[in-house]
Amino acid sequence: EVQVVQSGAEVKKPGESLKISCTASGYIFANYWIAWVRQRPGRGLEWMGIIYPGDSDTRYSPSFQGQVTISADDSISTAYLQWSSLKASDTAMYYCATPYDYGIHAFDIWGLGTLVTVSS
Amino acid sequence: DIQMTQSPPSLSASVGDRVTITCRASQQINKYLNWYQQKPGKAPRLLISAASSLHGGIPSRFSGSGSGTDFTLTITRLQPEDFAIYFCQQSYTSPWTFGQGTKVDLK
């Protein structure tokens, strides 16, 4: 079964660092793009960026460039989203998703999400 | 960035109704338009890709149409499990962008 499994919920303080993960199974991780999508409480979906694990080609939304880092470790089929200094406004659900059947275009495989809460 | 505008933001409908949601892109995106459904506390689910291609396992009461800048998602004979939020997403050019969502609730 093709799936992506995300790491658990996190509660952090402003200024702290964080790295959340998304582990793929059931397919060749290196050969498929994987993206991160933010959803703030009660809000819509925001595409943050995408990585191709095979060559680490990474593309960011300008809204998130410099705010987060997307990376991947092909050896353990895992993608990461990390922050060096969290803000309260980073409080959100973060989804990883892969366009498994759709090249780079439509996301048909989604994780359950990682809830990140940033509060002093 | 390409802006995606959905209308209406919300609508109330009854089981059995026909529902239409529109999505307009701020510039032409050919047919690079996808539709998702999201229920409370759940991840989004892909319904339609490339404007009109039904994703595997999605009921045929869902359909999509359009190209260029104007797109439509139609649900014929609304079912109880269809009450949810629907998002469009363009994949014509990076950054991929989503519409703000349309909430379909029970009248």
pLDDT tens-digit series, residues A84-118: 999 999 999 999 999 988 888 899 999 999 999 99
Mind listing the pLDDT tens digit for each residue in B77-97? 999 999 999 999 999 999 999
Residue A48 pLDDT: 97
pLDDT of residue A101: 86
Q: What does R_g of chain B's alpha carbons equal in angstroms?
A: 13
| Model confidence pLDDT, tens digit, residues A4-46 | 999 999 999 999 999 999 999 999 999 999 999 999 999 999 9
Q: CA-CA distance, B68 to B48, in Å (whole number)? A: 16
Contact B48, B73 (CB under 8 A): yes
Q: What is the DSSP string of B11-41?
A: EEE-TT--EEEEEEESS--TT-EEEEEE-TT
pLDDT at A61 (0 to 100): 96
- Contact flag A47-B45 (C-beta cutoff 8 Å): no
For chain B, residues with pLDDT lower than 70 are: none
With beta carbons less than 8 A apart as the criterion, state whether A101 and A40 touch: no
- Interface check for A42 against chain B (CB to CB < 8 A): the answer is no
Give residue A96's pLDDT. 98
Mean pLDDT of A39-66: 96
State CA B100 to chain mean position distance. 11
Q: What is the per-residue pLDDT for B11?
A: 97
CA–CA distance, B9 with B22 (Å, rounded to integer): 10
Q: Is A113 on the interface with B (CB under 8 A)?
A: yes
- A95, B44: Cβ pair inside 8 Å? yes
Edge-first strand listing for the sheet containing B4-7 = B4-7, B19-25, B70-75, B62-67
pLDDT of residue A105: 87
> How confident is the model at residue B96, as a pLDDT?
96
Give just the sign of the alpha carbon dihedral B3, A110, A107, A51: positive
Which of B43, B95, B98 has the CB atom closest to A112's CB atom? B43
In this complex, is the C-beta atom of A33 within 8 Å of any C-beta atom belonging to chain B? no
Give the 3-state secondary structure of residue A89: helix
Q: How many CB pairs under 8 A join A and B?
A: 66
